[in-house]
Structure 1
Amino acid sequence: MLEISDLTVKYGAIQALTGVSLRIGQGQLVGILGANGAGKTTLLRTISGIVDPTGGTISLNGSNITQRKADDIVRLGIAHVPEGRGIFPDLTVRENLIVGAYTRRSRSEVHADYASMLEMFPSLARRERQDGSMLSGGEQQMLALARALMARPTLLLADEISLGLAPVITQQVFEHLKALRERGITVMLVEQNANLVMKNADYIYVLKHGQIVLQGTAQELAANKDLTDAYLGE
């Protein structure tokens, strides 16, 4: 589904990604691990068209999307749940969700998906008319996820989705991610909680200093003592 080949990204003189290559198959939940500054967020932002690469290619279902703009990327089926949730605090839950469907034209389908999101996330249904700023951290994360799903993505990019959440809420979020995988939606998950990724991901890539240093299934990496060094950094 998604294939990245020799991807390079620079911020001025800073090399954020160097020669990153990976593949993600349809319906997989793939984890991206790495210490702070490893390039995880940059990788997602480049895939979603927010950051321009300086080299390499990104292909979705065989089509080169490397130079496509962010709004085009959404229309092609990629939605991004950014680090820090990125909801609109002064908009209501309903308004946030409707914004997530801004690239879509069928009002009836948007209405149906809106009802589906409220069913999937009951806490949002109870807060439907409240501003995003009034939600708890867990509810805001649910809102960010639901808003991304309003775009009807085939590939969901999720950045540090458990950050700042209580363990019980984190577990709920991961149950939603696994349910999405069962529906055939591909999930690419950037996460610092290695244990969560090891328990839930079909395949894992480990980034260090902007490069992939390890990859494999959870079972393969669990037996690799180098994982700790690669994940924690020097």
Structure 2
Amino acid sequence: MRRDPSDQLENRILQAAIEEFAEHGFAGARIERIGRQAGTVDRMLYYYYGNKERLYQAVLEQIYADMIGAQRNFVQSADPVAGMRQLIEHAWDHYVANPKLVRLLMNENLLRGRHIRESEQVGPTSFPLIETVSSILGAGQAQGVFRDDATSEHVLMTIMSLGFFYLSNQYTCSAWLGGDLMKKPRRSAWREHICNVVLDHLSTGARRAAPAPVRRKA
């Protein structure tokens, strides 16, 4: 079945916009460059999206849709420990394979998330990863292999932050660490490190007693 030419044009515009906003951010992106890259004229961008802000929001919705699609493709293992490791690796691999995602999310955070908050397509219920982390964690806790005081929110934020920070700060960290963090051996070592950090934290032997309260002298 042949695709409608108008659909093809809209897709070219969106892909060109992803490149432009990832490279230059919202403020630095230019409609005329997007039009040239898409092989069309500026008025067609306004025809499909209305204005620059709506086009940028469509870009954010697309990268989130791609991320959500990748999350839905994750097949959960029956073994909670193996499943958590596979989930961590899956999340890291998606970040590495999609550098534009990292740059676009960095830019939207500089804008304090104002465009993504206005989106009707992206919300708390959109992300299968939230439910998947909760499911794996709950299974591990039920089997006694994960500590029962661990929370899915902290596990998810740990996985995402350890992956995102490494990639979003790769240039400055490479400079002061004296080596290219994106060389395959270093990427592979960090992937394993994230797994170890999360799984060590979740281990039932990792629970520590709360510190005794400090008593003040009268």
Normalization by structure 1: what TM-score?
Answer: 0.27
Q: Specify which structure has the higher proportion of helix.
A: 2
Normalization by structure 2: what TM-score?
Answer: 0.28
Bigger radius of gyration among the two: 2
Q: Which has the higher contact order (CA 8 A, sep 6+)?
A: 1
Q: Specify which structure has the higher proportion of strand.
A: 1
